[in-house]
Chains A and B, each alone.
Chain A
Amino acid sequence: MFGYNGKLLRVNLTEKRSSVEEIPEKIARDYIGGRGFVARYLWDEIRPGTDPLSPENKIVIATGPLSGVFLPSSGKIEFGTKSPHTGGYADSNMGGHLSSELKLAGYDMVIIEGKSEKPVFLFIDDDRVEIRDASAYWGMGALSSEKKLKEDLGEEFQIAVIGPAGERGVTFSCISHDFGRQAGRAGVACVMGAKGLKAMAVRGTKTVPVAEPGKLLEKSRSMYRAIYEIPAFHTWTPYGTADITSFINENGAFPTKNFSRGFFEKAGEITGQKLREKIHVKDKGCFGCPIPCGKYSRVTYKGDTRYVEGPEYETIALVGGNCLIGDIAEIGYINYWMDEYGVDTISGGNVIGFALECIEKGIIPAEAVEGRELKFGDPDSVLYLLEKIVRKEGIGEILSQGVRKAAEILGKGSERFAIHVKGLEVSGYEPRNAAGMLLAYMTSDIGAHHGRAWAITYDIAVGRYEVKGKAEKVIDLQHIRPVIDMLTVCRFPWIELGFPLEEYEEVFKFVTGLDWGWKEFKKVGERVYNLTRAFNIREIKGFGRKDDYPPKRFYEEPLEGEGPTAGQHVSLEVLDAMLDDYYSLRGWTKDGRPTKEKLEELDLGFVSRELESI
């Protein structure tokens, strides 16, 4: 199989054993790689009803056919598991250099099983695979452990590592790599922690077989050259994801004060331009990437200086706007601690915003925060809550389980402003007046994550209150995006520079030898989207339409504050109309279940049979 090693490495931490298995060609054809492999192997290998934190849960780590290949931005790797944060399907990806390294080590995938009683890390040096003692790293921050692992093993090893948050079971902890790249969402790191797995260190030196290397060289070279001609190559790259801050704020879609507002007066202080002016040290890129979005920074807060990659837009939105922190260096400093502790900054900022609102409303009493006066806009309040969460002390214990569980425990109406869907905290776009984005959050398989279908720009382009056509657009995006994650390339050349998706067809052909176009790709995208929906139906009791609703704040409370969207909100009728439209276009029932016919059409007959049996 060109473009693949055709091998997966299975590691059992209970038995301290690893083995290499073939990946069937049929799986590679039906699921491409990356996110597709994760979805299929999780479906097949996790026994229904498995407790996410038990040894029976598994972690699937997958590269794709384009990983490690000379090609713009081909450096993504996918991590997946049954989520301890949502109870459903989870995958999360990150960039950097781990994907190419693992591919060069001779594996397309790694599956982690079991649980080690003592902390360990997985050591992979081409064919040499060892489960090593990690007691020297356990308890250390993610960035500090990566530094130490590199010192101990060699700089050329690529490391994925968790911090204390993952070790202690914070369900929104993240996996960290390359001093600032994270697989952050839905708690993959928490499962690593439960398995006693601190890190994975990889070095690879082998060649990846490709079908037509000569044509690949010519094609990829022309892709780089085409990117260099796009004006945004020069204008977007210096700022990376933070570039979008002003645009989103000016459109009233910037999450502010726990999603009660869509506009932050201080947004002008936390833009990509301010980042570059005030704290920027270095542009940092993933493997093969011509548009390095990583902005490595140095920040000082109260005399303490730290290096941090970012802050990225999502962090700016959730730690900045959502907690009312209006200073780029302060956000960067909080970002550093979230990275070092190994906390997802999206869920982290969202959870802390929620906590601050609970404090403001008296739902969390002063005694619960040691009598301190915690408030929005105060970095020390955010840092205090972060530390409590990571230590799981007092109120931190409750908050460490995410906003859905915290609201269940705290009660007193707090669930209306616990901003999540399916238990996953909403990311950096206030969707009350972006119907497509809201529908994308509602129907995202892992819960409310922007990356599953980034519909906000479409909303802004065609009219944000317009409902017609939104379901169709969201579905199309939900089929494109998985493909990008299956090829394991980065979405930014397409999303941010407008680089045509068709360009990937030829390069895929020269790598794999398969003459596929987006028609075939999107079919796989649809297959995977239905499969992960089925995973949620299988794993979450009574899962269906009710799980696709956003928090009441989004459809009952008009946006407060200033900005073009102040006073606006989407009604429940609109939500229902969009959902009906969405389900019917997808071939799902009114309760959001894929029909037998739909599943069979997608070669998911085995899924249909299993669902019928429960």
Chain B
Amino acid sequence: MKFKLNEETCSGCRTCQAICSLVHFEKVNPKLGALKIDAHFPEPGAYTIRHCTQCGACAAACPLQAIEERNGVYRVVPEKCVRCGACVDACPHGVIFLHAEIPYAVKCDNCGECIRICPRVALMDEEGEVANDVRL
């Protein structure tokens, strides 16, 4: 799965964040969503989406090798992570973060749930593995 965006249609609804937190943590807490929506109002009236590109910058920065790569996806190993925040500083998109309720750094694992649910098809899978629930 590889993110493809259509920011033009994003309505800023944050459904993507809400499902992400529920799927990964069984928590109702959109702030745990592993992608970020930035609103640009009153001008020009736009939303931009920040998502993980699986670039690995976080893994490279981690002093404890707590972020491991498998099949092109970087995952945090909870047992190894000490919440030092080196990855947070290294991420070029600001999408790996620490949250008071989670004992390790949080990031996207490419599950594709946000793409499936996005009501606006603002998120898509460039590789076509993940289908959108909305049929255009």
Q: Which residues does A use to contact B, with CB under 8 Å?
A: 68-70, 97, 100, 104, 143, 147, 155, 178-179, 204-210, 213-214, 216-217, 221, 224-225, 227-228, 281-292, 294, 296, 298, 307
Contact = CB atoms under 8 A, between A and B. Distances in A.
Interface stretch (B17-25, B56-64, B65-73, B84-92): B17-25
Interface in B1-39: 9, 11-15, 18-19, 21-23, 25-32, 38-39
Given A70-B22, A224-B117, A283-B9, A288 B15 contact: yes
**Closest CB pairs A-B (n = 6):** A290-B119, A285-B11, A292-B11, A70-B18, A285-B13, A213-B26
Interface of B: 9, 11-15, 18-19, 21-23, 25-32, 38-39, 41-47, 99-101, 117, 119-120, 133-135
Nearest to B43: A307
Residue of A216, A225, A287 with most chain B CB atoms under a 10 A cut-off: A287
A68 B45 contact: no
Residue of B14, B25, B43, B47 with most chain A CB atoms under a 10 A cut-off: B14
Nearest to B19: A70
B16 to A, nearest CB: 10
Contact of B29 (A155, A208, A283): A208
B22 A307 contact: no
Contact of B99 (A205, A286, A288): A205
A96 B133 CA distance: 24
Contact of A205 (B9, B13, B25, B31): B31
Given A213-B26, A217-B22, A224 B45 contact: no
A147 B23 CA distance: 34
A282 B44 CA distance: 9
Contact of B14 (A143, A217, A288): A288
Residue of A204, A290, A307 with most chain B CB atoms under a 10 A cut-off: A290
A147 B42 CA distance: 7
B85 to A, nearest CB: 16
Given A70-B28, A155-B39, A307-B45, A224 B133 contact: yes
Nearest to B32: A207
A221 B114 CA distance: 11
Contact of A104 (B9, B15, B31, B135): B31
Residue of A68, A207, A209, A287 with most chain B CB atoms under a 10 A cut-off: A207
A510 to B, nearest CB: 11
Contacts of A290: 13, 15, 119
Contact of B19 (A97, A221, A289, A292): A221
Nearest to B23: A217
Nearest to A2: B28
Contacts of B30: 68, 70, 100, 104, 287
Contacts of B26: 213-214, 217
Contacts of A155: 38-39
Given A217-B23, A225-B133, A179 B41 contact: yes
Nearest to B38: A155
Nearest to A294: B11
A307 B40 CA distance: 12
A520 B26 CA distance: 28
A498 B62 CA distance: 51
Given A221-B19, A298-B45, 7 more contacts: A205-B100, A207-B25, A207-B101, A224-B119, A282-B11, A289-B13, A292-B11
A288 B31 CA distance: 13
A290 B12 CA distance: 10
A204 B100 CA distance: 12
